[in-house]
Structure formats: C-alpha cells, structure tokens
Amino acid sequence: MIKKCLFPAAGYGTRFLPATKAMPKEMLPVVNKPLIQYGVEEALDAGLSEISIVTGRGKRALEDHFDISYELENQIKGTDKEKYLVGIRRLLDQCSFSYTRQTEMKGLGHAILTGRSLIGDEPFAVVLADDLCVNLEGDGVLTQMVKLYNQYRCTIVAIQEVDPQETNKYGVIAGDLIGDDLYRVRNMVEKPAPEDAPSNLAIIGRYILTPDIFDLIKQTEPGKGGEIQITDALMKQAQNGCVIAYKFKGKRFDCGGAEGYIEATNFCFENFYKTGKAY
Ligand code: UTP
C-alpha cells in the first residue's frame, strides 16, 4: 500500500514574481486556501497520510501552516470563525508531516532525490502543488492513480492533452494505448519544440513512483538549464520496465502562472467557496 506523498516545494517560482520573492509559491491562496493545502487534501483523500515536503530557503511558512497556532485558536475559540479551521485541523489530526531542505535548486529530479531520506524504499506519490487538480464528478486524481498502481504495480504519470504549440512547457510522452486513457510509455522528451514533440500528451504534476527511481535520478546527468530532470530518469525506467501514463479524469490548473491561477480562483470560488465547501 502507498502511504507517503512527497511535495517538492523548493523551487523559486520565478513566473510569479514579485509575489514569490519572500513567500513560497505553494502558499499562494486560491480563494481562501493555500495551494499546498489543496494538494495535501487530495493526498489524504487517496489514503496517503504521511506527507513529506521538500522545502528550501525562505519556505518556513509551509511548516507553520501545518502546525497548530495556539494564539489564533484561542482567539477564535467559541466564535463562528472556528469553522474556518476545520479543514486544516483535519489534516493536522490525520496526517504526519516531515520536511527536508534542498540547498541548491537543481531541478525537480534533484528535489525528488532530496526527498529520498523521508521516503525510503517504498513506492510513493509526488504532487506538484502548483498544479491544482480537481474532479467534481468522482475520485480525485491521486485516488484514480493509486487505484491504477494497485493494479499495475509500476510507475504511473498523469498526462493531459495540451495545445500542440505548448509542448515546450512540458515533458511529453509517446506510448501504446493499453486501455481506457492508459498508455504504456515508449518515449519521453522534456520540453520539446512543437515540431519535435512525439505527441501532445503532456506530463502534469502528479506521479506515483517506484523507489528504483532514486538510483536512476542519481545516474542522470544535468539536462536543460543545468537541472536534473525527472523526465530523463522516467525515460530510463520506461526502458527497463514499465511506466504507465494515465489521462486522468478531472481538471488541472497551472497555478504557477497568472492565467491558470486566475482560472483556478474563479473555479474554486464558484464550486467550493460559494457552495460552502471551502473550509
Ligand atoms: P517549476 O519549474 O514549476 O517550479 O517546478 P519553479 O522553478 O518554482 O517555478 P518557475 O518556473 O521558476 O516559475 C515544478 C515543481 O518542482 C519544485 C517546485 O517547487 C515546483 O513545485 N522544484 C523545482 C523544487 O522543489 N526544486 C527545484 O530545484 C526545482
């Protein structure tokens, strides 16, 4: 069974400057909740209660968010404002939180490798909290992926069809269709130009990884921009055995940039906040 979920959250968030100069991108609020809280809720709903977060300099707000604030709680005790903290209290009660720091921001692959000491030798999920994923129709995206892992017992990456002109923002896969919305990955390219992309099926910020990924990341040379890419390690994993790409059910908002962030805000305001499901 998968119990652990890793949140790489050490990046600089340059697309959202100056907001992210002193504040972690993962703490940006979508209506009334920080991005990372949506991610942890999705993980807990999938049965993953051991939360591991890779932080970096200037990210202390993340640890403070997943802790009790005695002064504040005392202040609002017995008032109707207590309802605002019901959701975060549920997470504190039902999850454990552990942290490690990435001291040099050498890319997502390197951030995942930094989390190795918290994960150990077991399969685990990875959530990039700036990709906000929701499914109003049923299971959350991680729940869908955990079910697939239990069936296939190999690495699962979430994919989405993107505008062919935008492949240069993503890891892009080529694969053989093996079931409804399921591909066995044959090839994977990091941020290809549209003319070089093997498809328009792009990897988004949800993964379930088997622990052999750590040694594969270690063997990976820095790629584009001097960063250690997870895509390169996943490609090796796909060649060795099995990586499955899953076109998930639901919506994904890229909250790492202004456009997706505004869309997510409008969506959450209409579907969660106005309907009283936002705490
Ligand atoms: P992104 O490339 O989206 O994040 O990395 P970024 O670097 O923070 O953002 P921009 O592009 O400069 O605006 C995807 C995820 O990987 C984490 C980020 O925090 C984000 O959740 N990450 C990235 C790390 O933890 N460490 C890194 O060295 C790089």
Domains of the chain are: 4-273 (3.90.550.10)
- Give the residues across from 251 on adjacent strands: 134
Per-residue model confidence (pLDDT) at position 276: 80
Per-residue model confidence (pLDDT) at position 187: 92
Q: Record the pTM.
A: 0.95
* b/e code 21-59 from CB counts within 10 Å (16+ = b): eebbbbbbebeebbbbbbbbbbbbebebebbbbbbbeeb
Q: From the CA of 56, give the closest atom in ligand 1.
A: 25
Per-residue model confidence (pLDDT) at position 61: 95
Per-residue model confidence (pLDDT) at position 225: 76
Query: Angle 210-211-214 (CA atoms, 0-180°, nearest 5)?
Result: 125
Q: Which residue's CA lies nearest to atom 18 of ligand 1?
A: 11
Q: From the CA of 129, give the closest atom in ligand 1.
A: 21
Which of 52, 99, 128 to probe ligand 1 with, by most ligand atoms within 8 A of CB? 128
Residues of the chain falling short of pLDDT 70: none
Per-residue model confidence (pLDDT) at position 27: 97
The reply to whether ligand 1 has any atom less than 6 angstroms from the CB of 12 is yes
Per-residue model confidence (pLDDT) at position 241: 73
Helix, strand, coil distribution of the chain in percent, nearest 5: 40, 25, 35
Per-residue model confidence (pLDDT) at position 223: 79
Query: Angle 14-30-12 (CA atoms, 0-180°, nearest 5)?
Result: 15
